[in-house]
Amino acid sequence: MVGSAAIAGGLVGLAISYRNLPDVRSLKGYVPSETTHIYDINGKVLASLHDEENREVVPLNKISPDLKRAVLAIEDSNFFQHQGINPVGILRATLANAQSGRTVEGGSTLTMQLIKNLFLTPERAISRKVAEAVLALRLEQIFNKDEILEMYLNQVYWGHNTYGAETAAESYFNKPAADLTLAEGAMMAGIIQAPEAYSPFVDLELAKRQQKIVLNRMVELKWITSAEAEAAYDQKLKLGKITSFQSSRSPYVTDAVVQELSQRFGREAVIKGGMRIQTTVDLKLQNLAEETVRRGHARLIGQGIRANQMALVAVDPRTHFIKAMVGGIDYSKSQFNRVTQSVRQPGSAFKPFVYYTAFATGRYTPDSTVQDKPMTFNDGEPYSPRNYDNSFSGAMSIRSALASSRNIPVIALGQRVGIEKVIDVCRTLGIKSPIPPVISLPLGSVDLTPLEITSAYATFANDGWQSDATAILQVTDNSGHLLLDNTPQPKLVLDPWAAASLNSALQSVITGGTGVAAAIGRPAAGKTGTTSDERDIWFVGYVPQLAAAVWAGNDDYKQIGKGATGGGSIAPIWGDFMHAALKGVPVEQFTPASKFERPRSQRE
């Protein structure tokens, strides 16, 4: 103690020369970079995000006593006796360095190591060692021993971009730091001096030798018995795996979540902030969606359809939670997310927006009569729309026109109710993409993302009730404080009678129209989409519990081939997904329009 006080006094004098050293008081609010974890809605890990430092901070009482003792034994056995510097260690290092004529031993205490890791460079020089000692003394005046030990164990590097005891324990032994045995703790303590060389993933035999050194030191200190050391050394260890820079289980989902949160909190906060992000995605449905896209794309190629990409998104109408999102057929080849980033023409899948607008006026029902006959419209120049098969069906009900996807009736209806009103409905439904007010809009002459159209259809499925579509349920920081809460706050944005009428009409598409291949053995509504330029094919549909869209096409907008239609090619793929996704989910009927009051303001 006398020697320690003397050296401490000398260093205090030297400290005058080190007035520009960092202020250790800043550690009172210090938060190290920490790995962010992304989970599915059931708590299953989808991805772990970090920069160079893969770390999870835990309190000292969540770290195994065996690991703490092992680290102290090999790194600083006098930790609880000194005041930041160890005179005996310094003297031993000075003699060793003098004999070698160069710096070969540091004599650092655990406190000094922490200072070096946080504030200083790793160079071996007398000036740096003095700075270490000065700052170590200051640190021990501000923090107690447990606080310093906790900081050290959360800061120390354990190899493979792994920092801190918790992440290292999960990596090396696939368990929390709190559950480490003496054998495991001793091996981890032995790694610290040269983690890349001593790692059991690199050289298990060398790691065992280091483990034995630590155990022998603990026996020498009388912290464990020889029998305990021998038993620990003989214990068979089950190693884990390197956890740093692991690929996401659902990369399209991860990218979408990171992009959204980066815009809100900043990318550095997301990558280094130790966030806990619970998504709305159900990993079971996500895996099913990915497999559906793989098999579905192979089916299209087998049919001679030249579509190089496909996308699928599923949304829960009751919450507008995104349950699955597949932005392409192979993330490793293309990270472009076609669910959220690609805008494509929906073709006839846009028609329900026009028919809903008509129903909302109160002047039309699914049984109202419309004309499918040659018509010419003027919008600067004559426009004479045609049906897909170039035929005309004459007078028919709206239900039949929608089921058979006739073009001329919906164009005429769009003119009667007003294109601007149709656009207003789209905006109400959350569609933000530009929408040109052209006569051909009812045929889908607009570019939308699959997520936009699926979210809108989900509002139809929920009788006009809408929440903001999201893939993020909530976000907390590393202490559990809530940063973002996307608990649904549904609002009634559509007329329920008009929405229910549309749901009724869209069921006819599947029961006897262009979407019969989408039948799934329960009430379902939906619409096919095929662009006249043969570049996009769709099916968008729903049951009361789930809405989904499947799209296929080419990123370069090349034609996919004659004869490819949403009903013939995509509807079966949609049906496969929905049938599997709804396995075990109770059958629900759509609410009949008769349960709601028909709009009166414009009724004839």
3-state helix, strand, coil in the chain (%, to 5): 45, 15, 40
Distance from C-alpha of 519 to C-alpha of 447, rounded to nearest angstrom:
27
- Partners of 212 in the β-ladder: none
If you search the block for the tokens 């139809």, which residue do you land on? 460
| Residue 29 one-letter amino acid | G
- What are 163's strand-pairing partners? 55, 157
Taking only the tens place, the pLDDT of each residue in 81-137 is: 998 888 766 666 566 555 655 443 456 899 999 988 887 655 544 456 677 788 888
Task: Look at strands 309-316 and 369-372 and give their pairing.
Answer: unpaired
pLDDT of amino acid 136: 87
Given the residues 34, 53, 56, 75, the one annotated as active site:
75
- Angstrom distance (rounded) from CA 323 to CA 314: 5
pTM above 0.85, yes or no: yes
Q: How far is CA 197 from the centre of its chain?
A: 34
From CA 336, how far away is CA 330, in angstroms rounded? 10
- Residue 379 CB coordination number (10 Å): 12
Give the E-state strand segments of 227-355 in sequence order.
Answer: 276-279, 309-316, 321-326
Start-to-end CA span in the chain (Å): 100
Cβ proximity of 147 and 80 under 8 Å: no
Q: Measured between alpha carbons, how far is 468 from 486 in angstroms, rounded to an integer?
A: 9
What count of Cα atoms within 13 Å lies in the side-chain half-sphere of residue 189?
31
Q: What is the pLDDT of residue 304?
A: 94
- Please give the pLDDT value at position 17: 47
> Of residues 248, 348, 504, 569, which has the active-site annotation?
348
Cα–Cα–Cα angle for 134, 19, 119, rounded to 5 degrees:
55
Q: Tell me the HSE value of 330 on the side-chain side, using a 13 A CA sphere.
A: 5
Residue 451 and residue 77: Cα distance in Å, rounded?
Answer: 59
Instruction: Give me the CATH topology for the region 157-244.
Output: Penicillin binding protein transpeptidase fold (1.10.3810)
| CA distances to 71, 206, 425 from 228, in Å | 17, 21, 74
The structural domains of the chain, with segments of one domain joined by +, span 1-30+65-152, 157-244, 285-595
Amino acid at residue number 244: S
Cα four-point dihedral sign 584, 590, 595, 599:
positive
Measured CA to CA in angstroms, residue 496 lies from 83, 493, 499 at distances of: 73, 9, 5
Three-state DSSP class for residue 228: helix
Cβ proximity of 440 and 345 under 8 Å: no
Q: What pLDDT does 296 receive?
A: 98
| Nearest-angstrom CA–CA distance, 313 and 190 | 49
User: Is the fold of 1-30+65-152 the same as that of 285-595?
Assistant: no
d(CA 535, CA 264): 35
Residue 445 · residue 426 · CB < 8 Å: no
Is 48 marked active-site? no
Q: What is the mean pLDDT of each run of 10 residues along the chain (604 residues)?
A: 49 51 76 94 96 94 98 94 79 61 61 84 57 85 94 95 97 98 98 95 97 97 97 97 94 96 95 96 98 97 95 98 98 96 97 98 97 88 88 96 96 97 98 96 97 98 97 94 96 98 98 98 98 93 98 96 93 98 97 95 50
The dotted CATH code for 1-30+65-152 is 1.10.3810.10
Paired residues of 54 in beta bridges: 162
Phi, psi at 485, each rounded to 5°: -130, 110
CATH 3.40.640.10 fits 285-595, yes or no: no
Q: Provide the pLDDT for residue 388.
A: 86
Let me know if 597 is a catalytic residue. no
Q: Decide: 527 and 547 in contact? Cβ < 8 Å.
A: no
Sole residue written with tokens 């290092």: 93
* Number of residues that make up the chain: 604
Strand extents, DSSP E, 384-504:
394-397, 465-466, 472-476, 482-485, 491-492
Separation CA 567–CA 311 (nearest Å): 16
The tokens describing 389, both together, are: 């098969």
Strand 276-279, strand 45-49: pairing: unpaired
Is residue 326 helix, strand or coil?
A: strand
